Amino acid sequence: MSVIEIKNLTKQFGKARGIIDVNLNVEQGEIFGFIGPNGAGKSTTIRTLLGLIHPTSGSATIFGKSCFDHPEVRKELGYLPSEVFYYDNMRVIDLLKYSASFYKKDCTKRINELAEAMNLDLKKKINDLSFGNKKKVGIVQGLLHEPKLIILDEPTGGLDPLMQQKFFELIREENQKGATVFFSSHILTEVQKMCDRVAFIKEGKIIKLERISTLQENNYKRISLEAKSGISRDAFNLDGVSNFKVKENTAKFIYKGNVNTIIQKIAQLDLLNLSIEEPDLEEIFMHYYEKEG
Amino acid sequence: MNIFLRELKSNRKALIIWSVCMFLGVLSGMSKYTTYSSGGAASQALTQLPHSMRALFGMGSFNVSTMSGFFAFLFSYIVLAAAIHAALLGSGIIAKEERDKTTEFLIVKPISRTTVITSKFIAALVNIVVVNIVTLLSSFFLVAAYNKGKDISGEIAVFFLTMFIVQLIFLSLGAFLSAFMKNPKASGSIATSILLGSYVIAKITDLADHLNVLNILSPFKYFSYTDIVNGDGLNTVIVILALLLVAVFSASTYFFYQKRDLNV
Per-residue pLDDT reduced to its tens digit, A90-111: 899 999 999 999 998 899 999 9
Which candidate, B250, B227, B229, places its Cα nearest to that of B237?
A: B227
- Fold designation for A216-292: Alpha-Beta Plaits (3.30.70)
Give the distance from residue A5's alpha carbon to the nearest chain B alpha carbon, in angstroms: 17
What is the mean predicted confidence (pLDDT) over A41-69?
Answer: 94
Residue B61 has pLDDT above 80, yes or no: no
pLDDT for A58 beyond 90: yes
d(CA B172, CA B153): 29
Q: Do domains A2-203 and A216-292 have the same CATH topology?
A: no
Q: Is position B185 within any domain?
A: yes
Name the nearest CA neighbour of A151 among A1, A45, A39, A12. Answer: A45
Which residues lie closer than 8 Å to B193 by C-beta, 6 or more apart? none
Instruction: Examine residue B46 and state whether it is found in any structural domain, yes or no.
Output: no
CB contact under 8 A, B110 and A52: no
Could you say which DSSP state residue B261 is in?
P
Residue B51 lies in a domain: no
Q: How confident is the model at residue A293 (pLDDT cuts 50, 70, 90)?
A: very low
Q: Which domain holds residue B16?
A: 2-34+67-259
d(CA B81, CA B24): 12
- Confidence category of residue B227, pLDDT binned at 50, 70, 90: confident
- The whole-angstrom separation of Cα B74 and Cα A21 is 62
Number of domains in chain B: 1
Sheet of strand A57-62: strand arrangement: A16-27, A2-13, A57-62
Classify burial at B22, counting beta carbons within 10 Å of its beta carbon; exposed 0-12, middle 13-18, buried 19 or more.
buried
Judging contacts by C-beta atoms under 8 Å, the chain A residues touching residue B10 are 87, 89
In a domain, B41, yes or no: no
Question: Would B188 be classed as within a structural domain?
Answer: yes
Q: Which residues of A115-145 are buried (b: 16+ CB within 10 A; e: fewer)?
A: bebbebebeeebeebeeebbbbbbbbbbbbb
> Does residue A199 have a pLDDT over 70?
yes
Host H or E run for residue B10: helix B2-31
pLDDT at residue A240, as a whole number:
82
- A210-264 residue pLDDT tens: 888 776 655 678 889 998 888 887 878 888 888 888 888 888 888 888 888 888 8
Alpha-carbon gap, residue A122 to A133, rounded angstroms: 11
* Contact between A53 and B261 using a beta-carbon 8 Å cutoff: yes
- Are residues A71 and B112, on separate chains, in Cβ contact within 8 Å? yes
Coil, helix or strand at residue B102:
coil
Report the DSSP pairing between strands A250-256 and A220-227. Answer: antiparallel
B255 close to A (CB below 8 A): no
Alpha-carbon gap, residue A225 to A227, rounded angstroms: 6
- Count of CB atoms situated within 10 Å of the CB of B247: 12
Among B184, B176, B10, which Cα is nearest to B99's? B184
Class of domain A2-203: alpha beta
The angle formed by the CA atoms of residues A139, A144 and A149, to the nearest 5 degrees, is 80
Question: Positive or negative CA dihedral for A260, A262, A267, A272?
Answer: negative
Q: Do the beta carbons of residue A46 and residue A183 sit within 8 Å?
A: no
Is any Cβ of chain A less than 8 angstroms from the Cβ of B183?
no
Nearest residue of A to residue B99, measured between CA atoms: A85
Kindly tell me if the per-residue pLDDT of A187 is higher than 80.
no
Mean pLDDT for chain A overall: 88
| Pair type for strands A149-153 and A77-80 | parallel
What does the pLDDT read at residue A287? 65
Measured between beta carbons, the chain A residues lying within 8 angstroms of B111 are: 71-72, 102
Domain chopping of chain A, boundaries? 2-203, 216-292
Q: What letter does residue B182 receive in the DSSP assignment?
A: S
Q: How far is CA A170 from CA A100, A105, A140, B108, in A?
A: 19, 21, 10, 21
Residue B17 lies in a domain: yes
Nearest residue to A58 (alpha-carbon basis) of A206, A249, A198: A206
Across B92-96, average pLDDT? 93
Size of interface A-B (CB pairs under 8 A): 63
Amino acid at A168: F
Q: Using DSSP, state whether B224 is helix, strand or coil.
A: coil
Q: In terms of CA atoms, which chain B residue is nearest residue A101?
A: B2
Q: ∠ CA(A90), CA(A92), CA(A96), 5° rounding? A: 100
Decide: residue A267, CB within 10 A, 0-12 exposed, 13-18 middle, 19+ buried: exposed
Helix runs in B49-149, H state only: 51-57, 67-99, 103-107, 113-146
**Min distance A264 CA to chain B CA atoms (Å):** 55
Chain A interface with B: residues with Cβ < 8 Å: 47, 50-54, 71-75, 77, 79, 81, 83, 85-89, 98-99, 101-103, 141
Contact predicate B211/B205, CB 8 Å: yes
* Structure confidence by residue, pLDDT tens digits, B172-188: 999 999 999 988 889 99
Pairing mode, if any, of strands A149-153 and A180-185?
parallel
**CA B67 to each of CA A162, B55, B119, B151, B184: distance values in angstroms, whole numbers, following the listed order:** 73, 18, 40, 9, 43
Residue A285 pLDDT grade (very low, low, confident, very high; cuts 50, 70, 90): low
Query: Where is pLDDT greater, at B58 or A26?
Result: A26
What pLDDT, in 10s, does the model give residues B123-150?
Answer: 999 999 999 999 999 999 999 998 888 8
Residue B40: band (very low, low, confident or very high) from pLDDT cuts 50, 70, 90: low
Q: What was the pLDDT predicted at A281?
A: 64
Q: What is the pLDDT of residue A235?
A: 78
Asked if B107's CB is within 8 angstroms of A75's CB, the reply is no
Per-residue HEC secondary structure of chain A comes to CEEEEEEEEEEEECCEEEEEEEEEEEECCCEEEEECCCCCCHHHHHHHHCCCCCCCEEEEEECCECCCCCHHHHHHEEEECCCCCCCCCCEHHHHHHHHHCCCCCCCHHHHHHHHHHHCCCCCCEHHHCCHHHHHHHHHHHHHCCCCCEEEEECCCCCCCHHHHHHHHHHHHHHHHCCCEEEEEECCHHHHHHHCCEEEEEECCEEEEEEEHHHHHHHHEEEEEEEECCCCCHHHHCCCCEEEEEEECCEEEEEEECCHHHHHHHHHCCCEEEEEEECCCHHHHHHHHHHHHC
Q: How high is the mean pLDDT of chain B?
A: 90
Residue B103 belongs to a domain: yes
Between A46 and B62, residue with greater pLDDT: A46
The SS3 of residue B23 is helix
Region of poorest pLDDT, from A53-57, A258-262, B18-22, B219-223: A258-262
Closest residue in B to A142 (Cα) is: B105
For chain A, say whether B101 makes contact (Cβ under 8 Å). Answer: yes
Burial of A235 (0-12, 13-18, 19+ CB in 10 A): middle
Cα–Cα distance, B18 to B89 (Å, whole number): 11
Lateral strand order in the sheet of A180-185: A77-80, A149-153, A180-185, A31-35, A197-202, A205-211
Contacts of A47 in chain B (CB under 8 A): 104, 264
Residue B47: pLDDT above 80? no
Q: Is B109 on the interface with A (CB under 8 A)?
A: yes
Q: What is the CA radius of gyration of chain A?
A: 23
B112 reaches A (C-beta below 8 A)? yes
Q: Give the residues across from A2 on adjacent strands.
A: A27
**Helix (DSSP H) and strand (DSSP E) numbers for chain B:** 11, 0
Chain A touched by B32 (CB under 8 Å): no
Q: Quick one: pLDDT at residue B96?
A: 92
**Is residue B49 a part of any domain in this protein?**
no
pLDDT top residue among A255 and B53: A255
Of B100, B110, B262, the CB nearest to A87: B100
